[in-house]
Homo-oligomer: A and B are copies of this chain.
Amino acid sequence: MAGSTFGNHISVTTWGESHGEALGVVIDGFPAGLKLCAEDIQLYLNRRKPGQSKFTTARAEGDEVEILSGVFEGHTTGTPISLMVRNKDQHSKDYGNIATAFRPGHADYGFYEKFGRRDYRGGGRSSGRETIGRVAAGAICAKLLKELGIEVFAYTKSIGDIKISEFELGERDLNPLAMPDAEAAGKAAEYLEACMQSNDSAGGIIECVITGVPAGIGDPVFEKLDAKLAQALVSIGSVKGVEIGDGFSVSKTCGSINNDSFELDDEGNVVKATNHSGGILGGISDGDDIIVRAAIKPTPSISRLQHTVNEAGEELDIEIHGRHDPVIVPRAVVVVECMCAIAVCDAMLGHMTDQVDYIKEFYKN
């Protein structure tokens, strides 16, 4: 089926394989008139680029974005924005038994059963490189959100057992683990070094905070704002869990604590005394900060010998060569941020037609 598109109003379609000619995205339905240049997008792509620290692969990926359509005279035109990043690394090499064996923890077996064939080069479509399209699209949505006073900010909340205990906004971009807590980042680095020495990998949790979303955004049933955020986040490879607000801990609390009281601030605006809800009630934003978390599994590609089965139906042991990130989390931070930006941007547009009065006001001239 056709499953490479996300969004109801802004429609984001990614394409491309890890070692194919190129990867890209088409963003259809994006409004006309946003000032946009390649640098706006490149800034976000650079945050997911490998080779930036010892915790990320050394693969030389330039990942330079090219705007192919939808921008004219420095502004979006309202027509599909097509963005492309050429793969530099797509030339064939010998994949050995990886070409036919199903790597544990990867989608290889599922792909083979689904499609009857698969592009085994670097995981093909299931590669983390697919997220290039998401990040490019998210960069544009984030820019539009900024013009509406909305900021989307994700960061590493934990790696293995090491959790941040402080939150210093500026710190996130200063350490290679995207943690807004220098001390925790230091400990996490040690933990990762140990993982690497034992040819193993680690997982972690990414948190994303979205500020400035007015109350009333989202939809009451299947397209709840949190339901779309959940789809958006779990659609990122390696995500195995999602929480909104207090998340799983709500299962152990009481209603009298979990219910956030409404009150008025000094300017008479409706605000909440607490934010257990994570900014969303009944699928609709309640005006508070939106807070979501995603649990990321350890990188499945590890250098250890692993037992598996191949396409011929034989058991075998495989070794995955090459250098792989010992942890996916830091590079996935910008992907989480971008998927949230797309989902929120889409919902913001959806709200504009919710009331007859809005429509009459719009067309009155």
Contacts and interface: CB of A to CB of B under 8 A. Distances in A.
Contacts of A261: 104, 306-308
Contacts of A176: none
A107 B260 CA distance: 12
A4 B21 contact: no
Given A16-B82, A203-B250, A356 B125 contact: no
Interface in A253-273: 253-256, 258-264, 268, 270, 273
B21 A67 contact: yes
A242 interface: yes
Interface in A282-334: 282-287, 295-302, 304, 306-309, 313, 315
Given A4-B28, A15-B82, A78-B117, 13 more contacts: A3-B221, A4-B79, A5-B11, A16-B68, A102-B262, A110-B286, A116-B355, A161-B252, A203-B253, A240-B247, A250-B296, A251-B296, A256-B304
Give the interface residue-count category, chain A.
35 or more
A244 B255 contact: no
Nearest to A30: B2
A106 interface: yes
Given A116-B33, A248-B248, A298-B255, A110 B356 contact: no
Q: Chain A at the B interface: mostly helix, strand, loop or mixed?
A: mixed
Given A160-B252, A216-B110, A353-B9, A14 B102 contact: no
A92 B251 CA distance: 34
8 contacts: A4-B28, A15-B28, A22-B68, A29-B353, A31-B353, A33-B115, A114-B351, A352-B362
A56 interface: no
A214 B365 CA distance: 10
A230 interface: yes
- Copy tally for this chain in the complex stands at 4
A180 interface: no
A126 interface: yes
A100 to B, nearest CB: 12
Contact of A348 (B7, B244, B302, B363): B363
Given A1-B219, A262-B307, A354-B1, A77 B118 contact: yes
A113 interface: yes
A255 B302 contact: yes
B355 A31 contact: yes
A13 interface: yes
Given A235-B222, A254-B200, A104 B205 contact: no
Nearest to A78: B115
Contacts of A116: 32-33, 354-355, 357
A58 interface: no
